Structure 1
Amino acid sequence: MSSSSRRRRVIRTVIGLAAVLVLSVVGAGAWFYHRLDTNITTFDAGGVATERPPAPTPTARGASVPVNVLLLGSDTRNDGNADLGGGDVGVGHSDTAILLHVYADRKHAVGVSIPRDALVTIPSCRLPSGDWTKPRTSQMFNEAFTVGEAEKGNPACTQNTVEALTGLRIDHTIVVDFKGVAAMTEAINGVDVCVPNDVNSHNIKLKKGPQKLSGPPAVDYLRARYGFGDNSDIGRMKRQQAFLSSMIRKVQSQGFSLPTLLPLADAATRSLTVDEGLGTAMKLVDFAQSLQQINLSDITFVTAPWRFSTVQNGRVDLVHPDVDTLWRLLREDRTLDGQATGEVGDAASATPTAPTESAPSPSPTATPLTAEQLATPVTVVNGVGTDGLAGHGSAAIRAQGYQNVALGQTTGGRLRTEIAYDPPFKAVAEQLAALFPGSRMTEEPGSEGITVTLGRDYHPAATGTPTPGVPSGVPAAATGPLPTTVPSAIAENSRSADTDPCANLTFG
């Protein structure tokens, strides 16, 4: 055999072996991705409200937009979680809820912890039967997750609640249970935490001091309430924020490469429930990689401004106008000190284009409403079906100072605007009627508030334009100049992700 023939044979052999190797790797990769995809559970998008805050739009060609992700921790004991959390099998609550706002520049992020005991309005939510509930006021925030008592909870209802509360459109919702936390911490070989004191309470035992936790002990650290400070959920949120900071630090130190992220995704997907937009392993990995340019010092965790409720013992009230300012800063993609962060131009901002007209003047009234009357529960329903109609109506109502305004489920077919009210709220209903000329008032005993159902006679221009800087359909709760420093009520409830992990871990 000639030397040239031998060379050609060797080359063919090498090419053949290379082809076999490539096919094997690709086949193994495809198998691995398929396994991850089959791990993931998604929740039905049909439960997401039809009336939602608008999606942000880029301010310049090629610019990014902010992304809002709702992170929920389920304390369900179903599906083997009782081995980690103890207690009875049953539908869980979302005792951990963090709204992560990733700025358009992809270099800053804010995570807002919403207290589980916060009293909020739970808007209309879908039941497993397909029916929709009526909005309920003064409910504990974590009750939204249990609406319908589905085995996997009701993430869509919690998402609806957060959108109604904040005026922010939620792009993705992720639910993780105890098993997911245990698996993810093991996948990255533990998370460095600090335990402020020895704990031996409610079957949870932790030793004081800095240490690395993974698996069941990490779950104990995150879910423990008793044995720290005043045993409150507020202190637990502080430790959860510190834990997430350490977890982010660990992932960043290992890099955002596929060898790092895929094992983490494999561990996570076995216990995740996500929206359909994150329903594949690669979508999760792509989202994680989109965050790799954010420095730890540019991630801030905030507990929504709060105080203990004076109405319901043991519950929490969100503090106005401080919490309204926080939501507005995030809606306008501003840092907590009011600065713009857009990608394009020196002063660019990812704030959606907003009307430049003046805000509506309050309607003249014979007797100004009291603070108590302005807190009356008001539900705004789109009775026509036109996109964003209820959002416009709620913005007009909030611009008059009303604080407890929620969006109801679209009905359609209504010709004339109707204002249904419980008799104790007649005076408030009469003043609302002035905002909607030609509307009809209907007494509805036992309704515990007011429902404004918008008809074809309602035209947004008739009640003024939305407040400048607030997109159409978004509650105009906080108006006026933006802050130039971090407001004190926000600063005192904040911690940077690069804060000493042993600092500020308890409350009381």
Structure 2
Amino acid sequence: MTTTSDQAIPSRRRRREAPPRRGAPRGGRTTRRRRKRGPLRTVLLVALSLTVLGTAGLGWIYLKLNGDIETFDGAGLSKNRPASGSSKGENVLVIGSDARTDGNSALGGGSKDDIGRSDTAFLLHVYADHRHAIAVSIPRDTLVTIPPCRLPDGTWTGTRTDTMFNAAFSVGQTEAGNPACTQNTVEELTGLRVDHTVVVDFKGFAALTDVVGGVQVCLPQDIYQGDLNPNRATKGERIFEKGEQNVSGQKALDYVRIRHGIGDGSDIGRIKRQQAFVSSLLKKIKSDGLTPTKLLPLATAATKSMTVDPGLGTADKLMAFAMSLKDVDLHDTKFVTVPWRYQGSRVAIAEPDASGLWAALKADRTIDGEDASGGGGDTATPSASGSPEAGGEASAVAVDGDGIDVAVYNGTTTNGLASEASAALTAHGFTVTGTGNASDPQHTTTVVQYGAGLRSQAETVARVFPGARLESIGGSTVNVVVGTAYAAAGGSPSADPSADGSSVAADARSADDDLCADLSYGSGG
């Protein structure tokens, strides 16, 4: 700025010292006019300099952000992914990593040489109208099918069934974890294509809370050091008082990690507090204003400890996605946990509720039954979408089964159902490879089973049996196990009122809900 002024002043002096032009008026009028133009020139030059400096500064920030963003190897993504564009909305998988590398051990404890693990995960579905969003938490000890995943040496694992969900992130036993394997697992579980994946570690999380000036949280009771670390021999000091308080950095991290000492001490209860925390964080960011200026400090803090998929690996893409959320209302931002039930000490997916939830998201319908596809329409449940898990009357959409082989089994004590189901499949062009009786004759809901890489075929089969649920199995076949619901309808698929995703609405949290409400699960909650 000083350089600009020094260049302008000598120029004015030369004009004043030069003899007046022939015929020019004598006196001070010419000088006065030039004095008026002199400051104007200076102001313009200063303004231009500031503009250039401002642009250069913004460019420098973007370059710095780009330099900080780490991406994981896209070669590890499945070759049998759900089709792109199967939903108008956008799906973003957010993984909280408890990796101890790069200074994280000081915040989370544990060995700095430990392998990367996923501490929490949720699938964020941003509806096509960009006014609604839902985050579906997946408990880390949920039993799922982990499809083939890529190892560090380039080979692929086999399919693993009935495996804890967070084991997917640890496939390969690397310090950085395996985000691609977790993404593959979520796509296998939901049938939804994950558009982007974001991994945030302890440092990134703590930095975010510092940048926003802390986040309001609530505790249902006093919390002690022993609640954070159950291996302590004593109760320890009190680290949180009951009630509302502002937390940031290490305190914020401690809040979202507390599992024991509240309710039944389960991960389900911790998820409820994590959902409350993210709700409060969103409130804070929205109140500060969702603008590029406000987002840049957040992005700067986040990118230092964040890993993303290759499609989100530049600052402009990251900022564009963040800005796309600016019109999402807090009340229309929902937090739910995937429908679940206890299976021993683990968590199992509850069907058909879970399949109904995924169907609702595919159809861009909210858990309250509202059309959020951005194209208007009624507020009916997703049964009219033709989605295999959607429930409702038999689909009016034509089903093309050409090239798909199916084996059919009668899962009831009613004779002839396998033959009836076979006829229905054949009428749609499917090839029935055989019929028989299932080993378990107590099936209520019709089940479409599928082997590795055959989910899309199974979804096509299930469209002939609305209300059917999908089940991943080993092998390389697609099977239909007909249930009593099919028999009760005289061979016609019957409606399943719980299969539209609405069953999770009662337990949903909105981002504007009472901060102190529903913070735990089980005894004492």
Find the aligned partners of 1:228 and 1:128 in 2 and give their Cα distance.
39
Find the aligned partners of 1:479 and 1:100 in 2 and give their Cα distance.
31
Q: What stretches of structure 2 of length at least 5 have no aligned partner? A: 1-15, 17-29, 230-237, 388-395, 402-419, 423-433, 481-492
Structure 1 residues 304 and 392 mapped into 2: Cα distance closer, same or farther (>3 Å)?
A: closer
1:72 aligns with 2:95: yes
CA deviation string 1:281-317 (max 9, x = no partner): 23222211111111111111111111110xxx31111
Find the aligned partners of 1:299 and 1:479 in 2 and give their Cα distance.
32
Structure 1 residues 71 and 229 mapped into 2: Cα distance closer, same or farther (>3 Å)?
A: same
Q: What stretches of structure 1 of length at least 5 have no aligned partner? A: 59-64, 382-389, 407-448, 455-462, 465-477
Structure 1 residues 161 and 372 mapped into 2: Cα distance closer, same or farther (>3 Å)?
A: farther
User: What is the match of residue 178 of structure 1?
Assistant: 202
Other structure's SS at 1:92 match: coil
| 1:103-118 paired onto structure 2 within 5 Å | 103-118=127-142
User: What is the match of residue 502 of structure 2?
Assistant: 487
1:379 aligns with 2:451: yes
Find the aligned partners of 2:476 and 2:518 in 1 and give their Cα distance.
43
Q: Does the 8 A contact of 2:370 with 2:379 survive in 1?
A: no
User: What is the match of residue 356 of structure 1?
Assistant: 397
Q: Does the 8 A contact of 1:57 with 1:352 survive in 2?
A: no
Find the aligned partners of 1:210 and 1:149 in 2 and give their Cα distance.
39
Find the aligned partners of 2:399 and 2:449 in 1 and give their Cα distance.
27
User: What is the match of residue 138 of structure 1?
Assistant: 162
Find the aligned partners of 2:362 and 2:439 in 1 and give their Cα distance.
28
1:315 aligns with 2:374: no
Find the aligned partners of 1:157 and 1:500 in 2 and give their Cα distance.
36
1:208 aligns with 2:239: no
User: What is the match of residue 300 of structure 1?
Assistant: 334
Structure 1 residues 9 and 146 mapped into 2: Cα distance closer, same or farther (>3 Å)?
A: same
User: What is the match of residue 423 of structure 1?
Assistant: none
1:26 aligns with 2:28: no
User: What is the match of residue 365 of structure 1?
Assistant: 435
| 1:441-460 paired onto structure 2 within 5 Å | 449-452=474-477
User: What is the match of residue 504 of structure 1?
Assistant: 518
Alignment coverage as a number of residue pairs: 426
How big is the shift at 1:378?
Answer: 4.4
Structure 1 residues 331 and 479 mapped into 2: Cα distance closer, same or farther (>3 Å)?
A: farther
Determine which of 416, 432, 457 is the counterpart of 1:393.
457
Give the structure, 1 or 2, with the largest relative contact order (CA under 8 Å, sep 6 or more): 1
1:329 aligns with 2:360: yes
How big is the shift at 1:398?
Answer: 5.2
Determine which of 44, 51, 56 is the counterpart of 1:15.
44
Q: Match of 1:114, as an amino acid?
A: I
Q: Does the 8 A contact of 2:360 with 2:366 survive in 1?
A: yes
CA deviation string 1:85-122 (max 9, x = no partner): 11122122212111111111111111100111100000
Q: Does the 8 A contact of 1:135 with 1:379 survive in 2?
A: no
User: What is the match of residue 444 of structure 1?
Assistant: none
Find the aligned partners of 1:377 and 1:320 in 2 and give their Cα distance.
14
How big is the shift at 1:279?
Answer: 1.2
Other structure's SS at 2:476 match: strand
Find the aligned partners of 2:260 and 2:150 in 1 and give their Cα distance.
34
User: What is the match of residue 199 of structure 1?
Assistant: 223
Q: Does the 8 A contact of 1:338 with 1:482 survive in 2?
A: no
How big is the shift at 1:479?
Answer: 8.8
TM norm structure 1: 0.77
TM norm structure 2: 0.75
1:263 aligns with 2:297: yes
User: What is the match of residue 404 of structure 1?
Assistant: 471
| 1:39-118 paired onto structure 2 within 5 Å | 39-56=68-85, 65-89=88-112, 90-118=114-142
RMSD: 3.0
Q: Does the 8 A contact of 2:159 with 2:452 survive in 1?
A: no
How big is the shift at 1:170?
Answer: 0.5
Q: Does the 8 A contact of 1:338 with 1:483 survive in 2?
A: no
Deviates more, 1:334-343 or 1:210-219: 334-343
CA deviation string 1:411-448 (max 9, x = no partner): xxxxxxxxxxxxxxxxxxxxxxxxxxxxxxxxxxxxxx
Find the aligned partners of 1:348 and 1:278 in 2 and give their Cα distance.
33
Deviates more, 1:30-39 or 1:159-168: 30-39
How big is the shift at 1:253?
Answer: 0.4
1:342 aligns with 2:373: yes
How big is the shift at 1:209?
Answer: 1.0
Find the aligned partners of 2:223 and 2:295 in 1 and give their Cα distance.
33
Find the aligned partners of 2:511 and 2:103 in 1 and give their Cα distance.
32
